[in-house]
Amino acid sequence: MGVEELLQEISAEIRREVPGSVEITDIEFEAAVLVIYTKQPERFAEDEDLVRRLAKKLRKRLVVRPDPSVLAGINEATEEIKRIVPDEAEITDIYFEPDTGEVSIEARKPGLVIGRQGTTLNDLKKEIGWAPKVVRTPPIPSKTIKEIREYLRSVADDRKEFLRKVGRRIYRGSNKDEQWVRWTSLGGYREVGRSCHLLQTQDSKILIDAGVNFSNDDKATPYLQLSEVWPLNQLDAVILTHAHMDHCGLIPLLYKYGYDGPVYCTPPTRELSVLLQMDYIKIAAAEGKKPPYESEHIREWVKRSITLNFGDTTDISPDVKLTFNNSGHILGSAVSHFHIGDGFYNVLLTSDMKYERTWLFNPTHNKFPRLEALIMEATYGGKNDFQPTRQQAHEELGAIIQRVVGRGGKVIVPCFAVGRSQEVMLVVEDLVRNGQIPRTDVFLDGMIWEATAIHTAYPEYLNNQLRNEIFHEGNNPLLADIFRRVDSQATRREILAREGPCVVLATSGMLSGGPVMEYFKEWAPDKRNCIVFVGFQAGGTLGKRVQQGMKEVPMAEGGKSKVLHIEMEVETVDGFSGHSDRRQLMNYINNLSPKPDKIITMHGEESKCVDLASSLHKKYNIQTWAPYNLETIRLK
Ligand SMILES: [Zn+2]
Ligand SMILES: [Zn+2]
């Protein structure tokens, strides 16, 4: 059945259920959401069961929106909101989303916008026609989130047209040929970096991740030129699992080369990816390199992004449904579950995962309605890849800070802006709060502050305990007053000149540029100071060489080369990793429900992928593979 026929059938069904006096002005798919436009949205609101009944009957995600003709103008509606909502609610922002007919009201006291039993909200609805959504004001304003929202608002009309096009493509009808499923490895197999996969069925082509590998110029990008993928406009959808550059780095490039479909990801994945991609082209330009894409291509993908929260299931092509769940790796990172055909086959891609409760996140989701094939990471999948627990890492870091601060030294922690920094912040805050280390200033330099702001805007993506701390106790540890933002060269100079102990968290994580270099150059020659590595140091980076004990580092300064003598203490604290170690990977399979009958390993050095695949086969008698890039496996 084609989309026109389907819509006719759906319209007839809706007309049967909805009272004749309700005026329906349009019924259309916007991506996979069936949207009913009406001049009397209140009639749907009165009968709550009506929408639920319809959605169940039609087996579609369904929303009812006011017809644009009943919406008040944006200025008028803004005035009404300010008049109706009491000042004590402390509204900080009002933003309209014309493509959905919704208005988000951001307030410090959201309860007062809602009013007793929702009365204020109902009054609002009646007066302005827009559907109000109430959002708690994030504790730290994020420039990235603000800019993305403003941009999406400015392209609302284009976006609506785009979503309708996607909807028509998804429901174009499935061909009735023989059904099959295959998986192709396009990058990140028997290696780490440039992650990219293709899921193909008789009806669909779905690309997952498009990452870049910074540490290997010859093998920096995935094999996108295969005929199954190229030209890119044959793809039904692109899925983005999380915001690390080895997964999201080339998403904008897809638009430069002709892809014009949707990218599905969680909301924080979109915001963090944009932050890192913008930084990537900025750094490339500063180093005199030509970045592979421009900021306009980043905007192109944002315009076509479709965000899904954990647990939402959506059609993405005629025969594939996608559901994201928590992977525990970084903010918004997801395991992707693909339900193919009507119960024909189910595939789960873990992407990067942490199967341990961390200071920030819950462990990887491990219960699914159905599951036949699993594609899993193997970063620490080797038989000796055991890491200390979070608790041991906590104690170790505490002991180092206490020792260094006690002798009047300074501590530098090079970190990635996303994930590791926030975990180190939580540990340091906890150590200070419990009196295990003396109170010291902790300076946050580079993109850490902005990345932290994005974390506080999405408390529902953090683990239960942290979420409670943020919501219920007004006690957000990420906002403790020991943390100081470094946002200018002047502040940085002040810190560099300062006497006495302090802690600095700065990017980049592997001493490969970024503000951390300034602290390192200044403080390395003093033996009271200490540098603590908390993240993976790739071969060939300065971080790796310092970690291995290099004492003299040649440095370019003002065109001349100078030798930096490293006298400072060099420490490494393992256990802050966002990846599961060997034990956690094996446990994940043990606790996974249901058990798959096929497992593919990837995202790890060759030996780790092979070792994990063979150990899983031996232990669970499951068919396993550790494919090379460019292999295709028929799953069903
Ligand atoms: Zn990652
Ligand atoms: Zn990765």
Give the distance (Å) from ligand 1 centre to CA of residue 214: 14
Instruction: Read off the amino acid at residue 193.
Output: G
Please state, in angstroms and rounded to a whole number, the distance separating the CA atoms of residues 476 and 460. Answer: 14
Neighbours of 289 (CB within 10 A): 10
How many whole angstroms from 329 Cα to the centroid of ligand 1? 7
CA dist 475 → 171, 276, 429, 448 (Å): 47, 28, 12, 20
587 has pLDDT over 80? yes
H or E stretch at 58: helix 48-58
CA of 92 to the centre of ligand 1 (A): 33
Q: Which ligand is nearest to the Cα of residue 420, counting in written order?
A: 1
Per-residue pLDDT at 65: 87
180 CA to middle of ligand 1, Å?
30
Q: How far is the CA of 492 from the centre of ligand 2 (A)?
A: 31
Mean pLDDT score of the chain, rounded to an integer? 92
**Phi and psi at residue 267, in whole multiples of 5°?**
-55, -45
d(C-alpha 618, C-alpha 620), whole Å: 6
CA–centroid distance, 173 to ligand 2, in Å, is 35
Bridging pattern class, strands 102-107 and 91-97: antiparallel
pLDDT at residue number 137:
85
Measured from the alpha carbon of residue 331, the closest ligand is 1
Q: 């094996």: which residue's tokens?
A: 586
- CA separation for the pair 226, 224 (Å, rounded): 6
Q: Which ligand minimizes its atom distance to the CA of 604?
A: 2
Q: What is the DSSP letter of 593?
A: B
CA 590 to ligand 2 centroid distance, Å: 23
Question: Does the pLDDT value for residue 297 go beyond 90?
Answer: yes
Residue 624, pLDDT above cutoff 70: yes
Place of tokens 């996979």: 32
Q: How far is the CA of 522 from the centre of ligand 2 (A)?
A: 32
Instruction: Collect all residues with Cβ–Cβ distance below 8 Å to 146 and sequence separation of at least 6.
Output: none
Per-residue model confidence (pLDDT) at position 253: 97
Give the ligand at the shortest distance from the Cα of 334: 1
**Cα of 327 from ligand 1 centre, angstroms:** 10
Among residues 239, 67, 62, 240, the alpha carbon closest in space to that of 167 is found at 62
What's the rounded Cα separation, in Å, for the pair 188 and 207?
A: 14
Task: Tell me the mean pLDDT in the region 257-270.
Answer: 97
What spacing in Å lies between the alpha carbon of 304 and ligand 2's midpoint? 23
Structure tokens at 262: 């949707």
373-377/345-349 β-pairing: parallel
For the chain, helix (H) and strand (E) counts, in that order, are: 21, 28
Tokens standing for residue 7: 């819509």
| Gyration radius of the chain's alpha carbons | 26
Nearest bound ligand to the CA of residue 213: 2
Task: Give the Cα-Cα-Cα angle 194, 370, 7 (nearest 5 degrees).
Answer: 85
pLDDT > 90 in the chain, percent: 71
Ligand 2 midpoint to CA 430 (Å): 28
246 C-alpha to ligand 1 centroid (Å):
7
Q: What angle do CA 46, 47, 50 make, to 5 degrees?
A: 145
Give CA–CA dist 27/623, Å, rounded.
46
pLDDT tens readout for residues 425-471? 999 999 999 999 999 999 999 899 999 999 988 989 999 888 888 77
Find the ligand nearest to 195 CA.
2
CA of 376 to the centre of ligand 2 (A): 11
Mean pLDDT of 406-414: 96
User: What spacing in Å lies between the alpha carbon of 577 and ligand 2's midpoint?
Assistant: 12
Give the per-residue pLDDT at 71: 87
Query: 352 alpha carbon to ligand 1 midpoint, in Å?
Result: 5
In this prediction, residues 495-499 reach a mean pLDDT of 93
Q: Which residues pair with 506 in a beta bridge?
A: 414, 445
Q: Which of these ranges, 416-420, 491-495, 586-590, has the smallest mean pLDDT?
A: 416-420
CA of 453 to the centre of ligand 1 (A): 19
Instruction: State in Å: Cα 244 to ligand 1 middle.
Output: 5
The confidence score (pLDDT) of residue 473 equals 63
**What is the CA(529)–ligand 2 centre distance, in A?**
32
Taking the C-alpha atoms of residue 410 and residue 134, their distance in angstroms, rounded to an integer, is 44
High-pLDDT (> 70) share of the chain, %: 99
For residue 162 the two structure tokens come to: 């785009």
Q: Which of 259-268, 452-461, 560-569 has the highest mean pLDDT?
A: 259-268
Distance CA 35, CA 579 (A): 40
Q: Quote the ligand 2 centre to 589 CA distance (angstroms).
A: 20
Distance 195 CA to ligand 1 centre (A): 10
Ligand 1 center from residue 213 Cα (angstroms): 12
Structure tokens at 174: 């499935």
